[in-house]
Amino acid sequence: MQQSEIKGVTVGFYDGPVIAAEADVNDVIGATYGLGIDLIAIPAERLVDDFFWLSSRLAGAVLQKFQQYGFRVAVLGDISRFTAESPSLRDFIYESNQRGQVMFLADRAALEARL
């Protein structure tokens, strides 16, 4: 995991295996241990498609686990193929982005602007 300080926030940029289950979050969190990371930025392509289908409940389980351990999360990348088909996902993303604990953003530049 690469890390960077952006406007006073220590961001860990996840570059590990695809997150396919709630249990995979344990490995991500373990990789951050002792690094002082506040926010984990995950490329959208490192998440299985089921993550973006809210009926699978994977997104809720994964994001809740990160929050339980005190991490903010940013999903970075183009997820338009999912949002085009799911009004529920669009609503979830809108609400998440309003709160800021979980963000869905186009890329690192958008993350930097947001922080």
Chunked into runs of 10 residues, the chain (115 residues) has average pLDDT values of 94 96 94 92 97 95 94 97 95 94 97 95
pLDDT of residue 33: 86
Q: 10, 15, 9, 3: which is closest to 76 by C-alpha?
A: 15
Contact 70, 64 (CB under 8 A): no
Distance CA 6, CA 112 (A): 6
Q: What is the pTM of this model?
A: 0.93
CB 68 within 8 A of CB 102: no
Which DSSP symbol is given to 16? S
